[in-house]
A and B are shown apart, each in its own frame.
Chain A
Amino acid sequence: MKEKFIQLLEEIKKDLIFIANEVEHNIRQAIKALEKRDIKLAEQVIAHDENIDRMEVQIEENFLSLLALQQPVAIDLRFIVGGLKMNNDLERIGDHAVNIARTVLDIKERPLPDSIKKIPTMKNLACSMLHDIVSAFIHQDAEQAREVCAKDNSVDRLYDEIVKDTIEQVKNDQSLLEQGFAIARVARSLERVGDLATNIGEDVVFMKDAKIIRHRFEK
């Protein structure tokens, strides 16, 4: 019976890795759609989010079955509690890909403030956090998870810079007002991706070390 339980845990782990890859891919595609003003790609991103939502629900149901039927304790219990939160955070990252894609549909071909040039850098940083945190999850590496969490400050700084630059540019050219808001929204979504990757990092530390490091309670 225990072997079956361990096998089920492994399957859920694979599902989480799969949904994480899908979410990261959708964020990258959403930014690509923004850069190329590719309406069709933006629509694909929005459509694909439904698959991600379905996967999230399926993973949650599988976790609930494990809780109800196997009564896990210790490291298994922490994996399930942390995994449930991670699943939820991944789905929310998926929603941010949709937000970005919707922005692409809103702004169409209209000119954008120069601050957009920093968006790919921010995307790379946020996506690398997401990628690395999934790696930390796969290897249950709490140290790597902590390192990824520490990178969130860089994403936050970039967000502040983009907002500041956008405001300056909109002040100089008020015809960019609406598009300026759009860029700020995209930057905000990427900043949230960094936050949610950090949450997942905290979940990985909890799974591995049984330590709750969010809210900086950990001494």
Chain B
Amino acid sequence: MIETESGVFLEKTKKDEILTPETKIDKSVKPVLAMSNEKIVIETKTLDFYYNADAHALKNINIHIPDKKVTAFIGPSGCGKSTLLRCFNRMNDLISDAFHTGEILINGVDIYKEGTRLEDLRKQVGMVFQKSNPFPMSIWENVAFGPKVNGINDKDELNEIVESALKQGDLWREVKDRMQNSALDLSGGQQQRLCIARALANKPEIILMDEPASALDPISTGKIEETIEELKKNYTIVIVTHNMQQAARISDYTAFMMLGELIEVDLTKKIFTNPTQKLTEDYITGRFG
């Protein structure tokens, strides 16, 4: 086992224990979606990612993620789903020794292309984490923080951005009369929606969500899911979740990963009623994992 920031990474030998002859991956079925009529926003080509030379976390990932849809990544702990998510906005660059091969394209442009500004990339690709992480400042300051960093100083414009982002994050009605209160006084669910609003304030095109509701109660989870449903009208959403019912409820497409490999991607309805790969079926029906 190798501990990484995103969880426990399974060593290669473990694979043979999990993959029985019946659950071997049918390589004739390509996991890449054929979505000819949809605009592709994120694309990876033969992507391999290593936490270090001995920890091969992602193996030959080829995936297309369509515009203004919710794509959910599911799979057992250590399968690489969070690692892949973090590839999309180069969050993994923060890990020393980590490296990748292959390509990650956003709107057809390689995000590792020379001259790519990380600030621009992370503005384009917002992220919401498992644990809400509001800044220790007021609600207003939290949401206005990104736009201010990006050079917007006009108070009226900032007010407009904050209001719009909080409305999209479905938090405006609850906080509009206490914008100067500390964000830390909000409930867990409200803090997470604040973090979504904070990401939206930068006007991203893509929102990455890593287990955004795993620490929340069912009512707060429901609100986050409703928010995601609304957001997909304007944003491309990629979500990592351990909650398969949540993936089934909110996503249009589901990708199943295991041991660093992308096993199957398809319409969520197909994955949860009749997956192509036996391995996917065994995982979603709880027969292993």
Contact = CB atoms under 8 A, between A and B. Distances in A.
A2 B244 CA distance: 15
Contact of B286 (A5, A77, A210): A5
Contacts of A76: 285
Nearest to A71: B245
A73 B248 contact: yes
Contacts of A150: none
B286 A74 contact: no
Interface string A50-77: 0000000000000000000001111111
Nearest to B287: A2
A78 interface: yes
A210 B274 contact: yes
B13 interface: no
B221 to A, nearest CB: 15
A73 B284 contact: yes
A72 B245 contact: no
Contacts of A1: 286
B273 interface: yes
Contacts, number: 31
B145 interface: no
Nearest to A210: B274
Interface residues of A, number: 13
Interface of A is mostly: helix
8 contacts: A1-B286, A71-B245, A72-B285, A73-B272, A73-B284, A74-B275, A74-B284, A77-B272
Interface of A: 1-2, 5-6, 71-78, 210
A78 B286 contact: no
Contacts of A73: 244, 248, 272-273, 284-285
Contacts of B271: 74
B97 to A, nearest CB: 37
Contacts of B287: 2, 6
Given A6-B287, A73-B244, A76-B285, 13 more contacts: A2-B285, A2-B286, A71-B245, A73-B273, A73-B284, A74-B273, A74-B274, A74-B275, A74-B284, A75-B281, A78-B273, A210-B273, A210-B274
B274 A78 contact: yes
B279 to A, nearest CB: 12
A78 B272 CA distance: 10
A74 B285 contact: yes
A87 B86 CA distance: 48
A1 B286 CA distance: 9
B188 to A, nearest CB: 24
Contacts of A210: 273-274
A10 to B, nearest CB: 14
Contacts of B248: 73
Nearest to A1: B286
Contact of B273 (A2, A5, A6, A77): A77
B36 to A, nearest CB: 22
A71 B284 CA distance: 11
A74 B281 contact: yes
B285 A75 contact: yes
A76 to B, nearest CB: 5
A163 B161 CA distance: 79
Interface in B235-289: 244-245, 248, 271-275, 281, 284-287
Contacts of B284: 73-74
